[in-house]
Structure 1
Amino acid sequence: MSRLLTLIYGVLCYAVFLAVFVYAIGFIGGFVTPTSLDGPPTRPLGEALAVDFGLLALFALQHSGMARPAFKRWWTRIVPESAERSTYVLVSSLAMIALFVLWQPIGGVVWRVSEGPARTVVVGLYLFGWALLLYTTFLIDHFDLFGLKQTWRKFRGQPYLSPRFHTPSLYRLVRHPLYIGWLTIFWYAPVMTTAHLLFAAMTTTYILIAIQLEERDLVTPSAKPTSTTAAARPC
């Protein structure tokens, strides 16, 4: 029964991630979703900045902090190891949901691409970034990265097998194609508002810092290879 519950938990966490992933496409791009990065301000500038900085800092601390080997060693004393990655995915998704709900638009336009071929190209590159991001997760074992592999093997009574180091497809050409996907998403905006620029600048800074942390973990002899570090494995 416990193995079945762990599998159900993993599937539910993955379903939450998928919903967040789809919503994020609209939220960042400004398509159809009820909330978005852009829009007229609803609070004083200082208050809006404080909220937005806080939301981004919360996500960064959670996303990197829970991925560190020391935290994982402590955390798996509480959470079953087979459910650790799914829990990480769930908490990351909840942090993103908080950002979707609480984000404060600031107003102001930094640049605007007018209607026509140029705008079509920018939107196309934005969507390409999402496709690239999703594709690279499959290159490094998508189902391990999002916890399904761990819960499935637990359900089958099989030991967990860490992803092996390899350099498939784009990883032969680019050190971090997954992060290139994220940067494409953040910066290819047909309308770059002040809030969007803040988001793009802070998330880019976070990525540059996270790369250093993840690569340091990879070369530390005591660091156990995990699906968490697999996403940043250098080529």
Structure 2
Amino acid sequence: MTGPQAMNNYLASGIRYAALLFGTTSLGAFLLFLFAGSLSIIEFGLRDKQLLWLDAGLCALFFIQHSWMIRTSFRRRVSAFIPPEWYSAVFAFVSGITLLAVVGLWQQSSWHIAAIGGPYRSLLRMLYFLSVAGLIWGVRSLRFFDPFGGREIVYSLRGKKPKAMPFAARGPYRLVRHPFYFFVLIMLWVSPDLTADRLLFNVLWTIWIIVGTVLEERDLVHELGNEYREYQKRVPMFLPFTS
């Protein structure tokens, strides 16, 4: 193995592990945030209106980064200096950093809108954990799950190309076309303690998820053609049993 090739392989492995580290850490922090609310890691001492603007800006940072980098046109533009087989891992790495920024810098408002106690609080908590179980169900229903782009790098290091997986609807994909988004939406809204910042977070993320899903559907139709159109006719986008 030549020097440049060895260096390239080391760099590819480094990107792979960085994506895994920041990806898993950010997802864990995000799930904790959805359950417990603001982690109050850093407090800037802002007034409520000011901190809500900051929180909105953090959401916008993640939305813009994620939405730009996931587009095929952006991926094509950066292919001159990011190898295609590295791109998914780079995307996961950068997304992990921005998501950690959202969770770590998020400011909690003192404006309390609602607080649910008693058995209803326990019910909401149960719905949260059922949604987590739903996410796990969704992962297990897939033949492979590579959210951090490591699979493409491993195949590249072995001089192979990953096999294209046929489209198939299993598990929760038989109920809704986007089960991961469905369960995340539930997790957003089952918080028993609703502050102004949490309401802002829920509204912005709900809008972004819905708009992003509509755009993603266009890409899937373009990629899979009539097979996905038939799937759209059979299975609803978000709400089970509504097609």
Give the TM-score, by structure 1 length: 0.84
In the TM superposition, what is the alpha-carbon distance from 1:163 to its structure 2 partner?
3.6
Answer yes or no: is 1:73 the counterpart of 2:79: no
Structure 2: gaps (5+ residues): 1-5, 226-230, 236-243
1:88-107 to 2 correspondence within 5 Å? Answer: 88-107=91-110
Partner of 1:161, secondary structure, is coil
Give the residue type in structure 1 aligned to 2:154: W
Structure 1 contact 41–107 (Cα < 8 Å) conserved:
no
CA RMSD in angstroms comes to 2.7
Structure 1 contact 69–217 (Cα < 8 Å) conserved:
no
**Residue matched to 1:157:** 159
Partner of 1:85, secondary structure, is helix
Q: Report the Cα distance in structure 1 between the residues aligned to 2:201 and 2:48, rounded to whole angstroms.
A: 15
In the TM superposition, what is the alpha-carbon distance from 1:202 to its structure 2 partner?
0.5
Q: Report the Cα distance in structure 1 between the residues aligned to 2:20 and 2:147, rounded to whole angstroms.
A: 10
Partner of 1:110, secondary structure, is strand
Give the residue type in structure 1 aligned to 2:210: L
Answer yes or no: is 1:21 the counterpart of 2:23: no
In the TM superposition, what is the alpha-carbon distance from 1:20 to its structure 2 partner?
1.3
1:61-140 to 2 correspondence within 5 Å? Answer: 61-114=64-117, 116-140=118-142
> Aligned to 1:206, which of 205, 208, 212?
208
Structure 1: gaps (5+ residues): 226-232
In the TM superposition, what is the alpha-carbon distance from 1:134 to its structure 2 partner?
4.0
Give the residue type in structure 1 aligned to 2:51: A
**Residue matched to 2:238:** none
Answer yes or no: is 1:50 the counterpart of 2:53: yes
- Return closer, same or farther for 1:29/1:14 CA change in 2, 3 Å cut-off: same
Structure 2 contact 29–100 (Cα < 8 Å) conserved:
no
Answer yes or no: is 1:10 the counterpart of 2:48: no
- Return closer, same or farther for 1:62/1:32 CA change in 2, 3 Å cut-off: closer
In the TM superposition, what is the alpha-carbon distance from 1:4 to its structure 2 partner?
4.5
Q: Report the Cα distance in structure 2 between the residues aligned to 1:92 and 1:119, rounded to whole angstroms.
A: 32
Q: Report the Cα distance in structure 2 between the residues aligned to 1:188 and 1:205, rounded to whole angstroms.
A: 17
Structure 2 contact 185–206 (Cα < 8 Å) conserved:
yes
Identity within the alignment, % = 27
Give the residue type in structure 2 aligned to 1:169: G
In the TM superposition, what is the alpha-carbon distance from 1:93 to its structure 2 partner?
0.7
Give the residue type in structure 1 aligned to 2:75: K
Q: Report the Cα distance in structure 2 between the residues aligned to 1:163 and 1:63, rounded to whole angstroms.
A: 24
Give the TM-score, by structure 2 length: 0.81
